Amino acid sequence: MIPGVRLVILGKQGAGKGTQCVRLARHYVVPHISTGDMFRAAAKSGTPFGERARQFMEAGELIPDEVVIGLVRERLDQRDTRDRGYILDGFPRTVHQAEELDKFGGVELVIDLEVPTEVVLERLASRRVCVDCGTNYSLSGPPRVDWICDVCGGEVIQRKDDTEDAILRRLDLYEEQTAPLISWYLQKGLLVTVDGLGHPDQVHARMIRAVDHWRARHQPQ
C-alpha cells in the first residue's frame, strides 16, 4: 500500500483546494479534513453551536481560533489520521492555528495552490455546490439535469458566502491572516508552490509530482 501523508493545502478561496484535496485523499488513502465542510455540516444540523458557526460563515468571518483548534485537534486524534495521516483543507488559516498544529499534528509538507485573484473572483461568482455531498459545479459546468447533483441527486445551489460582499471580505481576511502563513512555512523549509491554473487533472498531476519530488529529496538515506 502507498505510504500515507501529512499535508496542509493553502490557497485563496476558489483556488480549487476542495477539489484537489478530495483527489489527493483518494490517491494517498488518507482522510480529507476540511474545516469548512465540518462547519457547514454543523450549521445544517441546527444545533446552537452550528447556528453560531453559520452566522460567522455567512458574514465571511473566521470562526474563533479556539473553536477551530479544538475541533481539529480532536479529529487528528482519531485512529485513521494517527495511522495514515491527513490532507488538511482550510486549516491552519492563521499563524496561531499553525503554531498549535505544530504541537499536535506534525506537518510533512505544505502546498500553496497558487491562482491569481482575478481568476478566483470569476470562479467564485460562478461556483455552485451540492447541498448534500459538496460536489462543486459552475455556471459553465452545471450538472446534467436542472441543478440536481450528478453524484447524489442533491440540490445544487450558490453558497451563501459566495455573494460578492462575503467573497471580498474572505479574500481580505486571506491576505491579512492566511497569506502570512506562506512565509511562516517557507522559513521552516516546508513549503512548495503549485500552479493552480489549468484543468483539474493537470493540477492534480502537478501536486502529486510536488509531493513525490519533495519526498525523494528528503528521504533519509
Catalytic residues: 17, 93, 127, 159, 170
What part of residues 105-164 is at the interface with ligand ADP (CB under 6 A)? 161
Phi/psi of residue 134, nearest 5 degrees: 80, 5
Contact 12, 199 (CB under 8 A): no
CA distance 104 to 197: 33
The listed partner (ligand ADP, Zn ion, none) that binds 205, CB under 5 to 8 Å by sort, is: none
Q: How far is the CB of 150 from Zn ion (least distance, A)?
A: 8
Q: By CB under 6 A, how many residues form the interface with ligand ADP?
A: 17
DSSP annotation of 172: H
Select the residue interacting with ligand ADP from 20, 31, 32, 91 (CB under 6 A): 91
- The nearer residue to ligand ADP, 34 or 207, going by C-beta atoms, is 34
Identify which of residues 28 and 174 has a Cβ nearer to ligand ADP in the complex: 174
Long-range contacts of 65-72 (CB under 8 A, 24+ apart): 65/94, 65/96, 65/97, 68/35, 68/93, 68/97, 69/97, 69/100, 71/35, 71/38, 72/33, 72/35, 72/97, 72/101
Residue numbers at the binding site for ligand ADP (CB under 6 A): 13, 35-36, 39, 56-57, 60-63, 68, 90-91, 93, 97, 161, 170
Residue numbers at the binding site for Zn ion (CB under 5 A): 130, 132-133, 135, 149, 151-152, 154
